Amino acid sequence: MRLFVALYPPAGALDDIFAEVGRLRVGRAAAEDVRIRLVDRESAHITLAFLGDVDDDRLPEVTAALARAAAPAAPVPTASPPPAPEAPGVPPAPAPPVGPLRLRLAGGGEFGAGRHSVLWADVHGDVAALHALAGRIRSELHRAGLPYDGRPFRPHLTIARPQGRLDPEDVAQDRAALDRYRGPAWPATEMVLVRSHLGPRPLHHRLARWSL
Residues involved in catalysis: 45, 156
One-letter amino acid of 7: L
Torsion of CA 78, 50, 187, 160, to 10 degrees: 150
Contact 102, 125 (CB under 8 A): yes
Helix axes 11-23, 168-180, angle to 10 degrees: 140
In sequence order, the 6+-apart residues with CB closer than 8 A to the CB of 125 are 101, 102, 103, 104, 185
